[in-house]
């Protein structure tokens, strides 16, 4: 078997339909396994569900640094109901892009990580620490047979690991006419809530004014028109300071006001489209997604529930989120926590940020500014955080100006610029070569 180029590897990965559910990642993981083994890299398959295995590969270092983990998932989200220009599992290359589900989230990055391992081996480079590659199933749902399973039941595989690279980061982005490389160093936590509204029940023929449905309307309107309070986390402060240093005075002075909670909303209002991505880094958020009321058209419900997709900043506690929501919906609405991620530290371990910055600067010719950022969503990184491993989102890509990077994952016409996987592979290889712990 000849070693595939990074782009060819990506195209092959795209052609395995690993839509989750059901996932069926076995063939895709089996292919990666065969590529690694053909190159003489030792692998282990660990599965809770045989159709949905995980792969671990390891290249030994000289022992002068702790092991470094690369982690990525091969499952993808559905394409149902989406209108694609090119079939989502064909990996068509045209117009400067490779098109397909998973090109960005995150088979492109998996191709980078696997290719970096292959090149490390082919060039007989001995890294300072062992390099552990972990290819996962099931990130897009619960990670129950993927990262959660490995972290809970096979934690010994990650013994002594202090840092890992994972999805989402190092992708060129334009802000205020300047080029940045945001590197993810933390992520928000899931804390879902249920609101319960109680009131008089009755027959549909005898209307009740001010009942549960009226309260529901008031609660949903309040959640739509009011925001939860601002919290400035250390990572957000570092991100804003990094952007400010690149954009120059006087814009930098205005932007820095966003770090003063009394001005945050006003400055956010000046950011235009960028505020949509920026706002969740400054506060906890809740999105009402499921409403349950009467199941009979002639019964006025005595109880209505509203489930909220709640997302919490690292360093904050579920009780704080509940209090913030209570202040908006009022004291008469009961709030219960449905599911909460374990708390996470607010302070990221930024010890490797300079390494990642230097690699990006060297490979891009200093054409942009790397900045740390907080992912408003969640990834498998949070499971590894539970083992005390700092996750860095690092899947470096050069993208053309105007490329709608953040809108494409999970959407139609997900695509990656031709050459992006080669750039990312070179950057990851350089990190593996230089990592000193």
DSSP structure class, residue 296? S
Q: Which stretch binds Zn ion (CB under 5 A): 115-123, 166-174, 190-198, 290-298?
A: 166-174
Burial 120-145 (b: 16+ CB within 10 A, else e): bbeeeeebbbbbbbbbbbbbbeebeb
CA 34 to CA 31: how far, in whole Å?
A: 5
- Only segment of 83-91, 165-173, 243-251, 398-406 that touches Zn ion (CB under 5 A): 165-173
Please tell me whether residue 370 adopts helix, strand or coil conformation.
strand
105 touches Zn ion by CB under 5 A? yes
Residues 51, 184: Cα–Cα separation, whole Å: 31
- Which stretch in 104-112, 203-211, 217-225, 326-334 sits in contact with Zn ion by CB under 5 A? 104-112
DSSP per-residue string spanning 20-75: TTT---HHHHHHHHHHHHHTT-EEEEE-SSTTS-EEEEEE---SSS--EEEEEE--
Minimal distance, residue 83 CB to Zn ion, in Å: 22
Pairing mode of beta strands 42-46, 97-99: unpaired
Window 135-164: residues binding Zn ion (CB under 5 A): none
Q: Would you say 105 or 130 has its CB closer to Zn ion?
A: 105
Question: Nearest approach, Cβ of 21 to Zn ion (angstroms)?
Answer: 15
Which residue from 289, 77, 349, 316 is spatially nearest to 189, judged by alpha carbons? Answer: 316
Question: By beta-carbon distance, which residue lies closest to Zn ion?
Answer: 105
Q: What is the dihedral of CA 361, 364, 370, 374, to 10 degrees?
A: -130
C-beta of 309 vs 437, nearer to Zn ion? 309
- Cβ closer to Zn ion: 103 or 115? 103
Q: Which is nearer to Zn ion, 106 or 150 (CB)?
A: 106
Closest to Zn ion by CB, 108 vs 417, is 108
How near is the Cβ of 106 to Zn ion at its closest, in Å? 4
Q: How buried is 395 (Cβ within 10 angstroms: 0-12 exposed, 13-18 middle, 19+ buried)?
A: buried
User: What is the smallest separation between the CB atom of 168 and Zn ion, expressed in angstroms?
Assistant: 7
From candidates 9, 56, 77, 106, binder to Zn ion by CB under 5 A = 106
Residue 116 token pair = 């970096």
Q: Which stretch binds Zn ion (CB under 5 A): 152-160, 167-175, 328-336, 381-389?
A: 167-175
Q: Which residues in 152-216 belong to E strands, given as ranges?
A: 163-166, 173-175, 178-187, 189-198, 202-203
CA separation for the pair 281, 65 (Å, rounded): 33
Question: Is the Cβ of residue 167 or residue 430 nearer to Zn ion in the bound state?
Answer: 167
Nearest residue (CB) to Zn ion, 137 versus 369: 137
Minimum gap (Å) between residue 165 Cβ and Zn ion: 13
Query: Segment contacting Zn ion (CB under 5 A): 105-113, 193-201, 314-322, 386-394?
Result: 105-113
Binders of Zn ion: how many residues, by CB under 5 A?
3
- Which of 78-86, 102-110, 273-281, 381-389 is the region at the interface with Zn ion (rule: CB under 5 A)? 102-110
Sheet-wide strand order for 93-94? 93-94, 97-99, 415-417
Q: How far is the CB of 416 from Zn ion (least distance, A)?
A: 13
Q: Does 14 help bind Zn ion (rule: CB under 5 A)?
A: no
Minimum distance from CB of 91 to Zn ion (Å)? 18
Identify which of residues 106 and 219 has a Cβ nearer to Zn ion in the complex: 106
Determine if the peptide bond prior to 21 is cis (ω within 30°): yes
Residues 299-328: x where in contact with Zn ion by CB under 5 A, - otherwise, as a string: ------------------------------
The verdict on 77 binding Zn ion (CB under 5 A) reads no
Q: Which is nearer to Zn ion, 139 or 307 (CB)?
A: 139
- Cβ neighbourhood burial of 361 (10 Å; 0-12, 13-18, 19+): middle
Q: Which is nearer to Zn ion, 106 or 431 (CB)?
A: 106
Residue 55 or 106: the one with the smaller Cβ distance to Zn ion is 106
Instruction: Based on the shown chain and the rule CB under 5 A, indicate whether residue 112 belongs to the binding site for Zn ion.
Output: no
Nearer to Zn ion, 167 or 414 (CB): 167
Q: Which element (helix H / strand E) includes 336?
A: strand 334-340
> Residue 397, Cα to own-chain centre: how many angstroms?
16
**Euclidean distance between CA atoms 356 and 348, whole angstroms:** 15
Cβ–Cβ under 8 Å, residues 135 and 29: yes
Angle at which helices 6-15 and 420-434 cross, to 10°: 110
Residues engaged in binding Zn ion (CB under 5 A): 105-106, 167
């Amino acid at each position: 078997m000849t070693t595939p180029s990074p782009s060819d590897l990506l195209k092959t990965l795209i052609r395995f339909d690993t839509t989750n559910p059901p996932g069926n990642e076995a063939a895709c993981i089996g292919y990666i396994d065969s590529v690694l083994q053909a190159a003489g890299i030792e692998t282990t398959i660990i599965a809770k569900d045989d159709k949905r295995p995980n792969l671990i590969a390891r290249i030994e270092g000289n022992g002068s640094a702790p092991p470094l983990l690369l982690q990525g998932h091969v499952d993808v989200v559905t394409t149902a109901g989406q209108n694609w220009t090119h079939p989502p599992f064909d990996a068509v290359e045209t117009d400067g892009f490779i098109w397909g589900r998973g090109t960005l989230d995150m088979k492109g990055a998996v191709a980078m990580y696997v290719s970096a391992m292959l090149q490390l081996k082919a060039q007989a480079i001995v890294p300072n620490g062992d390099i552990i590659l972990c290819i996962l199933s099931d990130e897009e749902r619960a990670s129950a047979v993927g990262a959660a399973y490995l972290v809970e039941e096979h934690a010994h595989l990650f013994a002594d690991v202090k840092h890992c690279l994972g999805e989402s980061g190092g992708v060129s982005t334009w802000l205020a006419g300047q080029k940045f490389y945001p590197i993810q160093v933390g992520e928000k936590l899931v804390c879902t809530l249920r609101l319960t509204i109680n009131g008089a029940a009755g027959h549909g023929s005898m209307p009740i004014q001010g009942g549960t449905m009226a309260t529901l309307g008031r609660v949903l309107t309040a959640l739509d028109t009011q925001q939860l309070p601002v919290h400035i986390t250390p990572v957000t402060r570092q991100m804003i300071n990094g952007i400010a240093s690149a954009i120059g005075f006087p814009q930098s002075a205005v932007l820095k006001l966003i770090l003063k909670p009394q001005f945050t909303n006003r400055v956010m209002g000046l950011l235009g489209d960028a505020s949509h991505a920026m706002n969740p880094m400054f506060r906890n958020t809740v999105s009402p997604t499921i409403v349950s009321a009467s199941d009979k058209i002639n019964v006025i419900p005595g109880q209505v529930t509203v489930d909220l997709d709640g997302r919490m900043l690292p360093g904050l506690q579920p009780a704080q989120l509940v209090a913030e929501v209570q202040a908006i919906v009022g004291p008469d609405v009961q709030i219960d926590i449905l599911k909460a991620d374990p708390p996470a530290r607010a302070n990221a371990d930024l010890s490797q940020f300079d390494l990642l910055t230097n690699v990006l600067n060297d490979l891009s010719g200093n054409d942009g500014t790397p900045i740390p950022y907080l992912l408003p969503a969640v990834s498998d990184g949070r499971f590894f955080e539970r083992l005390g491993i700092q996750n860095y989102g690092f899947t470096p890509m050069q993208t053309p100006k105007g490329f709608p990077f953040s809108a494409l994952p999970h959407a139609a016409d997900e695509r990656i610029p031709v050459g992006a996987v080669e750039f990312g592979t070179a950057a990851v290889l350089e990190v593996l070569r230089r990592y000193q712990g």
